[in-house]
Amino acid sequence: MIKMIGYAVLGVLVLGLSLAFAVSVQKFISNQKLAETAWNEYKPQKIEDLGTVKDLKIMPLIDYYTNSDNLTGEPGVSYLITAGDKKILFDVGYNMKSEHPSPLLRNMEQLGADTKDIDTVVISHNHIDHTGGLKAKKQNTFLLSGEAVDLKHVQAFVPEEMSHATAQIEVTQKPKKIAEGIATTGTIDRAIWMMGITPEQALAVNVEGRGLVLIVGCGHQKAERIIKRTKDLFSIPIYAVIGGLHYPVENSRMKFNMQKFIGTGKLPWQRIGKDEVEEAVAELEKTDLSVVGISAHDSCDWTLNRFREVFRDRYVDVVVGQEISI
């Protein structure tokens, strides 16, 4: 009798899980259609008066690889961008253990960077490896560390409705010039299984005598759409693409790479293949870029090596502590 009850409970659990999974699949398919419709229907207006900056420096503060044992690597993203007289913190890392000081703050100290010097924060998208962890997600905010960091002097540009205790928040779903020579591309929606629709924005910086440098968080938008949106917005050649493009094809450095199953914009059994990496490589190659650097935080080592093989001396590693200067 007890065994029969146990089987019955197990059967109910399996049925419940099966139904929940079926609902999640149906919701994902519905979100895919919504995201595709939004992409096809939105026609951005050109930004004609972007202006330029004389030079651009990108210092990875958080990423998977570091160039020193004194720095902390983690599967998140944060870049310190110095463009003209602006100091922009692009994403704020993961801080998986909600530490204080966080890996971000510790790396900043090692690299001689100070939060007091930052005047702008840009959040690419509202995922925990870019906004400071689970605590940030629960509060629908971004956090630089496990304890509060005063950002009352900071203007933050975010991809959807978010809050912050001290920073001034502006939602930039549509493309917007945020400073001389600097603009957000506006958000591009991507349906993510179990995560709903994810709007993600990238930064475009127009470097004098070079062209546009695109700085990308995760690349959920897909490389092809980031490039198309940029060409729709500006009559300026694209010089470089730096950041994440989300191509976790192989396990590489991880025994079990969850990135292969979540965050791909596909259902779990519809994995990203090498052919898609080749398509992205071809798209960037067609754009005639002078500099390409792909983040390791959401792409496998096979993907990084493939980009290195194609772009050769045009390729730069995205490594914590190793500045990219244009």
235 and 223 Cβ atoms separated by less than 8 Å: no
Question: 30-325 belongs to which CATH class?
Answer: alpha beta
User: What mean pLDDT is reported for the chain?
Assistant: 93
Selection from 100, 110, 75, 68 nearest residue 263 by Cα: 75
Condensed to tens digits (0 to 9), the pLDDT of residues 56-94 reads 999 999 999 999 999 999 999 999 999 999 999 999 999
pLDDT digits (tens, 9 = 90+) for 178-190: 999 999 999 999 9
- Other C-beta atoms lying within 10 Å of the C-beta of residue 205: 29
DSSP state, residue 56: E
Residue 261, burial from CB neighbour count under 10 angstroms (0-12, 13-18, 19+):
middle
Q: Where are the domains of the chain?
A: 30-325
114 contacts: CB under 8 Å, gap ≥ 6: 108
Query: Long-range contact list for 275-283, CB < 8 A, 24+ apart?
Result: 276/247, 277/247, 277/249, 277/302, 277/303, 277/306, 278/306, 279/224, 280/222, 280/223, 280/224, 280/245, 280/247, 281/306, 281/307, 281/310, 283/223, 283/224, 283/227
Strands (E), the chain: 56-62, 78-83, 86-90, 120-122, 155-158, 168-171, 176-179, 182-184, 188-192, 196-200, 203-207, 211-216, 238-243, 291-294, 324-325
Residue 16, pLDDT score: 67
Tokens of 45: 């207006």
Q: Which parts of the chain fold into alpha helices (H)? A: 2-41, 103-110, 128-131, 134-139, 223-233, 274-286, 301-311
Per-residue confidence (pLDDT) for residue 6, from 0 to 100: 55
Q: Tell me what the mean pLDDT of segment 287-309 comes to.
A: 96
**What is the tens place of the pLDDT at every residue in 95-118?**
999 999 999 999 999 999 999 999
pLDDT given at position 271: 87
